[in-house]
Amino acid sequence: MPFGFGFVSEVTHYGPERPVRLPSKSGPATSMKEIISKHVPEFENKASAILNPLLFSGDLQTIYAGIGNFDSVDQVYYGRDVMTYPNGGAGCLDFCISERRYSEYETSQDDVPKGQSAVLPPRTRFFVKSELDGLASQDTRPLLVLLHGLSGGSYEGYIRAVVSQITDAKYGFEAVVLNARGCALSQITTPQLFNGFWTDDVRFTMKYLRKLFPHRPFFGIGFSLGASILANYVGQESDNCDFKAVCIMADPWDLAGSAYCINRTILGSKAYSPAMTQSLVSLLKKHEKMLLEDEAFAKRYHSNIDKVKTLIEFDNQFTGPMFGFNTAMEYYRLGSSFNRIMAIRTPCLILNALDDPIVGHECLPYHEVAVNPYTLMLTTTHGGHLGYFKPNGQRWYADPVCRFFHGFMEDVDLTQENITEGCTMPVKHKVVDDRLVGPFRT
């Protein structure tokens, strides 16, 4: 493969011939490509970047992303707010706050919500009551909502790389990370976790945030499994989506295809899959007491928890049955986010590395983005899975992504509707109740 080894990464654009036009604050309507051309030269078609020469393959970038110590960089501080989902589950939102505000209060056991632990990730504390009472705001500052990858959280280096920059005064954004159930040292209060197709927690969160911030424009970015969740959500919401624009990064668009991709190499089958599986097994063991309240889960748990070694085995035994699927492959095929691309009606910037050993370049939605005017996919020859490390150790994507969102805020009139005149919109397929039903348009 021409992109198998190297450290000079090139960007290639894939998208519709006639993209949706975005109403401009001044002058003619604009587009995502024009915003990139004006604000983000790193993301332009055929732009190149020099990554760390020592990390000259997707595997090395990916491995370093997993084992590197990034505690000393992009140090951000969070205040945690715990939501209660409709089914009684707990959802934890980590809002980025200043170091001064973080140090202003010392939380006590009284500030720890019921069912939660006082132990949190570094530089994270629960909001005290007075902060929670004053959390709502009538301001119009843009808010970036971030979704992390598999069993990660707000503390992850790839998350903090964006949070630390987007909240800088030059961009003026607020930021909040939605931690998946049981992640980032949060405690579950019902016997349920998460998967790439489960979007109701995001849906509840968006409504919760809208009540807190009725006038803020919302933007979203998802990473890896969080990208899958975000893409699924934006497609499901379609015309009713509350995001002004989203970035989908390192999404395993075809979960079944990605499963094959991981297992076709020795490194994938013997390192990546077992490592990710072990993190999920640890998550189950951490929340064992609550999860075992489900009798069916308890039976599978006692029989298989120390036997599963791969992601497919884990999802066959746990993820699939927990969410009503018979097998991992049934979940993968139905839950893959490429199934929802055609319904996306929110400007959607997609970023995937061709040498990503987790996703697989064959699984990218080249054909789908070509027919949806709301999408623009950027592929890079190098970067691995959530890597993109430059020679100075910084992540290549972080500042360009922030400038894309900031440029969107600067140039686009968010009070006006997007302009689809002249665009060819995707047709809605004729599948109804799992049947293909005519008549068909010719």
Question: Which residues does 35 contact at the CB level (< 8 Å), separation at least 6?
Answer: 22, 404, 407, 408, 411, 412
Catalytic sites, residue numbers: 224, 356, 385
From 345, 359, 125, select the one nearest 223 (Cα to Cα): 359
From 70, 111, 162, select the one nearest 398 (Cα to Cα): 162
Q: Are 251 and 175 in contact (CB under 8 A)?
A: no
Task: Compute the distance between CA of residue 233 and CA of residue 302 in angstroms, rounded to an integer.
Answer: 33
Q: How many angstroms from the chain centroid is the CA of residue 298? A: 30
E strand map for 210-347: 218-223, 243-249
Task: Compute the distance between CA of residue 88 and CA of residue 12 in angstroms, rounded to an integer.
Answer: 45
C-alpha distance across the termini of the chain, in Å: 39
Task: Compute the distance between CA of residue 275 and CA of residue 255 in angstroms, rounded to an integer.
Answer: 17
Task: Compute the distance between CA of residue 414 and CA of residue 409 in angstroms, rounded to an integer.
Answer: 8
Question: Which residues does 376 contact at the CB level (< 8 Å), separation at least 6?
Answer: 13, 14, 15, 19, 32, 33, 348, 349, 350, 369
Structure letter (DSSP) for residue 21: B
Place of tokens 């959530």: 386
Task: Compute the distance between CA of residue 12 and CA of residue 48 in angstroms, rounded to an integer.
Answer: 10
Task: Compute the distance between CA of residue 248 and CA of residue 223 in angstroms, rounded to an integer.
Answer: 7
